[in-house]
Amino acid sequence: MKHIDGIVYKSSSVGETMDAGEDFAKKIAGMNAGIVALYGDLGAGKTCFVKGIAKGFGIAETVNSPTFSIINCYKNGGQQLYHIDAYRLKSAAEILNIGFEDYVSEGICLIEWPEQIEPLISKTAVKVRFTIESETTRTIKVEKA
């Protein structure tokens, strides 16, 4: 994985947020497995960013928010991408019961609302923080311990 701590993307549109996700995908190529925690308010652009990441990993399938399904899985070649939306979870146990630890060891887990399962977010996870600056602008910051 390239040096990613401190990367900042500025976005003025949905397209630019997807482009940022696509660029980020290149930066984490070689990560293979682990957690990418996506922090940010409702409508901050987390799902948009994940769409870009999927594109960057060469996934042709349409990426939709797993708000109701909790988890969606995508695959390209040997690389698995899991997209998790923890918003509706009430406890970390709920996601452990559906195999969370296996997902984290098998592929890259992109997690929206990681606050909901904070005890499961390892200290070494990649953290991406989204800030709504205005109706159409977002700041996206990458942190890696």
Ligand X SMILES: Nc1ncnc2c1ncn2[C@@H]1O[C@H](COP(=O)(O)OP(=O)(O)OP(=O)(O)O)[C@@H](O)[C@H]1O
On the 0-12 / 13-18 / 19+ scale of CB atoms within 10 A, 10 is: exposed
**What is the token pair recorded at 14?**
């949905």
**What is the token pair recorded at 102?**
């296996």
Q: Which stretch binds ligand X (CB under 6 A): 43-51, 75-83, 102-110, 120-128?
A: 43-51
Q: Does 72 bind Mg ion (CB under 5 A)?
A: no
In sign, the C-alpha dihedral spanning 92, 97, 99, 105 is positive
Count of other CB atoms within 10 angstroms of residue 73:
16
Q: Does 46 bind Mg ion (CB under 5 A)?
A: yes
In the region spanning residues 49 to 68, those forming contacts with Mg ion, defined by CB under 5 A, are: 65
Q: Does 47 bind Mg ion (CB under 5 A)?
A: yes
Identify what 69 binds: Mg ion, ligand X, none; CB under 5 to 8 Å per kind.
none
For 28-46, give one letter per residue: b (16+ CB within 10 A) or e. beebeebbbbbbbeeebbb
Q: Does 136 bind ligand X (CB under 6 A)?
A: yes
Q: Does 45 bind ligand X (CB under 6 A)?
A: yes
Q: Does 112 bind ligand X (CB under 6 A)?
A: yes
Q: Does 83 bind Mg ion (CB under 5 A)?
A: no
Q: Which stretch binds ligand X (CB under 6 A): 27-35, 36-44, 71-79, 120-128?
A: 36-44
SS3 content of the chain, % helix, strand, coil (to 5): 30, 30, 40
Residues forming the site for ligand X (CB under 6 A):
11-14, 16-17, 40, 42-48, 65, 112, 136-138
